[in-house]
Structure 1
Amino acid sequence: MAASDRLLGGLLLLIAGLVFAYYTIWTFIVPFFPSSSPLQQIFPDRVWAIRLPALILVLGLAGVGSFVGLVMQKEARKRAEKEARRNN
């Protein structure tokens, strides 16, 4: 089990490194090349360098907020059931 966890961790680290390198090149290096450069064809429009992380942030915060809300509802329901049993 430890070997597969280590392999998965290494794979996730490699993917994160590749995504970081791609994004860094896209946002910091590509704007200095002329628009006719073939390197410009590899990367999406620069406006997505802001929109994409903002979208991921909003979706992530919505997911965390939904999770916290569900946990709070479940805890309130458990507390109400416990109070109902205690009163009977």
Structure 2
Amino acid sequence: MDLADRAVGFLLSFISLSIFAYYTFWVIILSFVDSDHFIHSYFLPQEFAIIIPVFAGVGLLSLLCMFIGYVMLKSKKKSA
């Protein structure tokens, strides 16, 4: 395996684990902490814990559908 591939894989793993840890702490742990505690200033309001993943999922699904449609149209033109 090339060193650049290994570095990219490590970076992607680190970013994914960081996002997972942040989201887990935000959703699960902060619900048990008092709302006037200073740690709440580092996180968005709780309603964004649902809004952000929903919009990300809709955007990802839209991009996937557009890609599949593009590939289908391109393959249809090629066979005709």
Q: Give ranges in structure 1 of 5+ residues lacking alignment.
A: 81-88
Q: Which moved more, 1:26-35 or 1:1-10?
A: 1-10
Q: Relative contact order, CA 8 A, sep 6+: which one is greater?
A: 2
Deviations along 1:33-88, one digit per CA (max 9) or x if unpaired, are 111110111100100100101111000000000000000001111111xxxxxxxx
Q: How many corresponding residue pairs?
A: 80
Identity of aligned residues (%): 36
AA aligned to 1:61 is: L
- 1:20-31 pair list within 5 angstroms: 20-31=20-31
Query: Which 4+ stretches in 1 moved above 2 angstroms?
Result: none
Alignment-derived partner of residue 3 in structure 1: 3
AA aligned to 2:65 is: G
Q: Find out whether 1:66 has 2:62 as its counterpart.
A: no
TM-score by length of 1: 0.87
CA RMSD between the two structures: 1.0
Give 1:31 shift.
Answer: 1.2
Q: Give ranges in structure 2 of 5+ residues lacking alignment.
A: none
- 1:6-45 pair list within 5 angstroms: 6-45=6-45
Which has the larger Rg? 1
TM-score by length of 2: 0.95
Give 1:20 shift.
Answer: 0.5
